[in-house]
Each structure stands twice: as structure tokens, then as C-alpha cells.
Amino acid sequence: MKTLHILFFIIVFFAATIACRKNKLDPAFRSEARISLTANEADGARADSIVFTFAIWPSSLVDTQINLYAQVMGNLVDRERAFKVEVDTSSTAKTDEYEYPKNLVVPPGNYRVAIPVKIKRSARLVNAQAKLKLNIVPNDNFLPGPRVSTGLVNSGPSYSIIWSDQLTKPAFWDQVGVGMLWTVGKWSKVKHQLIIDATGIRNFQDLTTADKYYIASKSLEYLNAYNAGHPGNPMKNENGLVIDICSQCD
């Protein structure tokens, strides 16, 4: 009887002690730290690249800076961690057409750092495009991050900057609800230049419907005045097609 009582109280005692222990979950990310490259949507980045053209800027602009971002996956740490990028072999930019910092570090306690890439307006870009694709190189601190393509801008082990000195088709031009296709029509270099000449508006991103109606109206007026001044020789695009300003037209 006595032994039974003692046994009972011992069990209860132990059970009670265990019940009082705080259950600590392990908060740690128990995997290798990784680092991904990405860019800002607001800077014009879409999917896996950011496109820039010098053509819409005055010729006094000889270079500009585009920021890519390195984003850490894993725990924040209290020490500086170096990471490394290299130029992908598929890049078409010449080595003197860009500069980027060679010693890249993630400062203590940080998870996102900018990589300022200076791109240059070289003469050949009037007729060509330069593409700089940067890859994350694995080192002691980081492995390359996985490719994530949810949303408008991807992040992943590589990211590209594409630039030229010619008007390039904005990535959102044909995008439903956002693009210009339904107000001014199909994109062409000539039409792009016409819109800039007619309205002075260079950036077609995040425009309201009223903005687009206004741009279409001003551009149409400009085109009509040009065509009236060139009888029998209406404005044509770089592919030789007569251009117009209307929904989905050339």
C-alpha cells in the first residue's frame, strides 16, 4: 500500500515537473544559406530582366546606374558575408560597356543589398542590344537561390540587364489593362518615337486610362499633321508598314 502511494506520488511529481517545462520550438532555419538576384518592379524589371534604353534620354547621358538586388535566404547573422557574382557566357555586352563592384558583401544583420551596375552608352548600341547576365557563384557563405517566378519580377540564381540606344518595346506594352496596345496600337520604333515627339511623355508605365486616351489623341493629331504634310507618303514603321494610332493597329 505504502509503496503504491510513493510510486503514485513520484509519477505525479515527474509528470507535474514535465508539464511545467516550456515547449521551445526550434526557430532556426536549418539549411544552407542561399542568395538570389532580383530587381525592382518600379525600375522597370519584369520576369528575369530589366530593360533600359538610352534612346529616350538626351545624348549628354553617357552612362547610368541600374540596381540589381541580392536577396538572402536563411538566418540573419552578425558578421559580414561576402558573395560572388560572375558574368554568364551568354552575355552580349562588351566588358568596357559595364562596371559592377567586385567585392560584394552582405553587411551584418542584412538580408538585401543593392548591386549598382553602371551601364554605358556605347556607339554600337544604336543598332545593337547589350545584355549582361549575372550569375551567383557558390562560395563558403552562400549557395545560389532557387528560381522564384511568382509575381511580375523573378528572383533566382541569375538576373539580366538589357540595354541599347534604340527604342525598345516596353515589356508591358501588350499587357491587358496596363499596356498601350488598345489605345495606340502595335509597338514599333517609329510609333514610339512619334509618341515621344507628340506628347513628350517617355514613360508609359502605370498610366491611367485618361493618360492613354490623351496620348492616343495627341499622337493621332501629330501623325495626321505629318501625313497631311507628306502627301502620298504616310509615316511608315521600320518594317515599311504604314502606321496608324488605333486599337491593335500597326
Which stretches of the chain bind another protein, using CB under 8 A? Answer: 5-6, 9, 183, 209-211, 213-214, 216-218, 220-221, 224, 227-228, 231, 244-247
Min CB(179)–another protein separation in Å: 15
Between residues 92 and 248, which has the closer beta carbon with respect to another protein?
Answer: 248
Between residues 57 and 213, which has the closer beta carbon with respect to another protein?
Answer: 213
User: Sign (positive/negative) of CA torsion 148, 161, 182, 58?
Assistant: positive
Min CB(206)–another protein separation in Å: 16
Closest CA to 211 of 184, 242, 243: 184
DSSP structure string for 185-217: -S--HHHHHHHHHHH-----TT--HHHHHHHHH
Between residues 16 and 25, which has the closer beta carbon with respect to another protein?
Answer: 16
Strand partners, 92: none
Min CB(203)–another protein separation in Å: 15
Between residues 76 and 225, which has the closer beta carbon with respect to another protein?
Answer: 225
Min CB(170)–another protein separation in Å: 20
Strand partners, 98: 119
Please enumerate in sequence order all residues whose Cβ is within 8 A of that of 125, keeping only pairs 6 or more positions apart, or say none.
54, 97, 163, 164, 165, 166
C-beta separation of 47 from 149 below 8 A: yes
Min CB(133)–another protein separation in Å: 40
The pair phi, psi for residue 118, each rounded to 5°, is: -90, 125
Between residues 2 and 22, which has the closer beta carbon with respect to another protein?
Answer: 2
Between residues 50 and 245, which has the closer beta carbon with respect to another protein?
Answer: 245
Min CB(18)–another protein separation in Å: 20
Between residues 225 and 241, which has the closer beta carbon with respect to another protein?
Answer: 225
Min CB(196)–another protein separation in Å: 15
Number of continuous H segments (helices) and E segments (strands) in the chain: 3, 11
Cα atoms in the 13 Å half-sphere on the side-chain side of 69: 16
Residue corresponding to grid cell 529616350: 56
Give the H or E element holding residue 220: helix 209-229
User: How open is the CA angle 168-174-180, to the nearest 5 degrees?
Assistant: 80
